[in-house]
């Protein structure tokens, strides 16, 4: 079966996630695309910085200076993990019209969050959200990270909802 454009883009996001994994960082990768054209790509960096998520790193690369992106370009964010409140909120604020993620985040995922009531600025700026594209591939990277990380947060069972989901997913896939 030929790859869909979404799968192809998510493969680029997964490649970014692998860079983070090789650096010992929680493996989230993100790509911003206009149709089949990649506008930018990034991965999570410093574990100790709450702002250095893949999506934020990506947005800081793309939305720099006198940029000229508009909603009409149908920018799509591809990310290997359901966005958190910061990244999803930032996405709503930017001219991004669609979010596609691989793995749901049962701990801090906010992809299903809707502004209710939506302030006037956001009434006509809906963002479409879709999950599950390349879910298993993303899940495998998270498991590899969780099995090997020395970070106290993870070793002590931080984000246990997420960790349980990763292992449950891979057990059911075997």
- Quote the least distance from Cβ 66 to Zn ion, whole Å: 26
Q: 97 or 109, CB closer to Zn ion?
A: 109
Three-state DSSP class for residue 98: strand
The number of residues that bind Zn ion (CB under 5 A) is: 4
Residue 44 in the binding site for Zn ion (CB under 5 A): no
Q: Where are the beta strands (DSSP E) in 16-161?
A: 29-34, 37-43, 75-81, 96-103, 128-131
Q: 113-118: long-range contacts (C-beta < 8 A, 24 or more apart)?
A: 113/85, 113/88
Three-state DSSP class for residue 147: helix
Q: 57 or 97, CB closer to Zn ion?
A: 57
Contact range with Zn ion by CB under 5 A, out of 70-78, 83-91, 116-124, 161-169:
83-91
- Quote the least distance from Cβ 174 to Zn ion, whole Å: 29
How far is residue 107's CA from residue 1's CA, in Å, rounded to a whole number?
A: 33
Residue 81 in the binding site for Zn ion (CB under 5 A): no
Rounded to a whole number of angstroms, the CA Rg of the chain reads 16
Residue 84 in the binding site for Zn ion (CB under 5 A): yes
Tell me, yes or no, if 55 is annotated catalytic: yes
Contact positions with Zn ion (CB under 5 A) in 152-171: none
- DSSP 3-state helix, strand, coil percentages of the chain (rounded to 5)? 45, 20, 40
- Quote the least distance from Cβ 86 to Zn ion, whole Å: 5
Residue 53 in the binding site for Zn ion (CB under 5 A): yes
How far is residue 113's CA from residue 92's CA, in Å, rounded to a whole number?
A: 11
Annotated catalytic residue within 16, 55, 82, 169? 55
Residue 92 in the binding site for Zn ion (CB under 5 A): no
> Under the rule (CB under 5 A), what is the footprint of Zn ion?
53, 84, 86-87
Active site residues: 55
């Amino acid at each position: 079966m030929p790859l869909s454009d979404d799968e192809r883009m998510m493969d680029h996001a997964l490649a970014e996630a692998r860079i983070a994994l090789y650096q010992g960082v929680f493996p989230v990768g993100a790509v911003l695309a206009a149709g089949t054209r990649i506008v930018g790509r990034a991965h999570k960096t410093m574990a100790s910085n709450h702002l250095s998520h893949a999506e934020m790193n990506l947005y800081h690369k793309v939305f720099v200076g006198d940029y000229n992106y508009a909603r009409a370009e149908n920018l799509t964010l591809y990310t290997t993990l359901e966005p958190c409140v910061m990244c999803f909120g930032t996405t709503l604020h930017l001219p991004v019209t669609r979010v596609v993620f691989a793995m749901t985040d049962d701990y801090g995922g906010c992809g299903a969050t809707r502004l209710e009531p939506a302030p006037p600025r956001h009434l006509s700026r809906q963002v479409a959200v879709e999950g599950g594209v390349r879910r298993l591939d993303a899940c495998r990277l998270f498991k590899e990270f969780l099995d090997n990380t020395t970070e106290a947060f993870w070793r002590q069972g931080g984000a246990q909802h997420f960790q349980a989901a990763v292992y449950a997913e891979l057990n059911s896939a075997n």
